Structure 1
Amino acid sequence: MGEPTWAGVWPGQATDPYPTRQGGPSREIPRTGQVVFGKPEDGPLTEEELDAFDRDGFLVLPNALDQNEVTTLLTELRRLTRSGDDVGTDRMIEEPDGRSVKSIYQVQAVSEILRGLTEHSTFVDRARQILGSDVYLHQTRANVKPGFTGTDFFWHSDFETWHSEDGLPTMRALSVSVSLTDNYDFNGPLMVMPGSHKTFVTGMGETRPINWKRSLRDQDVGVPDHAILTELADRHGIRQFTGKAGDAVMFDCNIMHGSNANITPFARSNIFIVYNSMENTLQAPFGTQSQRPEYLGSRNFAPVGR
């Protein structure tokens, strides 16, 4: 692909509005473009719910799955975690201590049961409505966060990584976190800074070759510095998502989020489904010469549910 013509931009790309990982302290760049692209008549979400997603960057979906669905999905996830036979060494990421599974990526490729979850109309219809178009699966993963050994996920914006290392052009993507176990306030639930999705925060460090080999276990490149995280927390506050198995949260790709380690006996297992607009498909990465593997940033742009 050659050398970048200027920082963060490769030949054939327009100027990057979100340059990151260029040294110095983190800084804020105002978000360009809208958050919600659809209207109430386009789907199941009401005007109030769409306004809340635009304002806060997330939406809680209580009882998105019934108990039978949860049991089936959790049984399948435990099977994959125990055996690993259907997963492969690349898709299965271990905790830094190497003793337990941290995440499984591209779950729809290793399980028909989990594929069905990614096509669930509760999530697909709302994703289409918010993003204003058909959607495809940019990424899927199961975050297991086992009891006693589950490590933290430091504060970050998903868009920062997907833009830099996958080539996601704009912030027209969202995630759904589906709880397969109860999320307590003590076993490392998802935390977000409401409203932080309206600002892009540049990350520290420079992208090393095959950065994902390390970052999937312990991310240190692309995260914000402590000073700007303190400013964001003072400005926006922190919302922690607790609830029972079967609840779900939809959140914008640029919202600042993370989770604490789990030192309790109670695993926190969630499935994350990332829907990207069919009008926002991947380009060449904006911050590295080598794009991440297909199981991390898919270039199969087949629409979901069509």
Structure 2
Amino acid sequence: MILVVGEIVSRIRTFLSHGIFAVVAVYAVVTLAFVVIALTPDPGEAALTHSLVRQGRGDQLEAKLRAYRAARNLDVPVTTRYARWLVDITVLDWGRSFATGRSVLSMVREGLAYTLSYVVPGVVVGTAGGIWAGLSTARDSASNAGRGLSVLSYAAFGVPSFWLAAVFFVTVAPKLSWFPDRLPTTGPFSPEVLLFLAPAAVIVAVNVFAGQLRYARTKGSEYFQSDFVRQHRAVGVSRRKVMWYVLRVAAVPLLAVSLADLIAILVVNVFVVEYVFNVPGVGFLTYQAVLDRDMPVVLGMTMVVALAGIGANFLQEVANTLLDPRIGDDGGAP
């Protein structure tokens, strides 16, 4: 009993330490983004100066620049701006967009809804299909089906996301009379929007599927050749049960790569897919905010990406502790 309580306390301490590190890491990432933006010359000032000079209104330049800086809090020292911003984001007051005047938090919620509407089904389908195909390939590596799946994984892994999206819009979409020609305005989870974003979900699924298949095949090959699997086969355990047992043993490393793939999707594929499909999700809004130097939106979207990536790593650490099947009731390895 004492050992059990001690183990629980140890795990709680581990979770707390990982949680504190995750919070510090999130603030470090968004602080870096703040510093980069704050120290970068504002192209808006140059554009305003150029416009006024061309219009022959150079005498108004100083007043216009003061008003421009005041509207964006650029007339306040950087340290003061940072301190205010740090407090504001902590209490979920992320300010308003310089470009649109909308609340950044509402823009984040709306953009995140559009992104999740195709990322979640893509990740779920790609992960499930990739793990199943990878373990099947590892189990039947000498079969034609196993070789075919291996070739498929390399082909899918090597196809760029933007190429898949471009091919769809150029060759497939024009032939589908029922497919919307632009994003409907009925809301991120409406049937019309989900239909429009179905190809985006497929593109995400293809990328996740390829990565999961290759990793699951590698880990599965190790486990299918292990002594404990051979013992199960020797006593007549069915192929389905052996597959389930291998999946259970490989769950933690496969979960780790699933979260890593999710981070990669957020960093790369989401930006590409949303730009091509013109979807106002996290990637597209971040890209547009960077072009406009819309600091509140850039920092808000950076916070979302940081929370997703670092939060995924935190969940991975929790899963490594809770889901490792080698820690059983008898405390032994399988």
Tell me if both proteins adopt one fold, taking TM over 0.5 as the criterion.
Answer: no
Q: TM-score, normalised by structure 2?
A: 0.21
Asked which structure has the greater CA Rg, the reply is 2
In terms of fraction of residues, the more strand-rich structure is 1
In terms of fraction of residues, the more helix-rich structure is 2
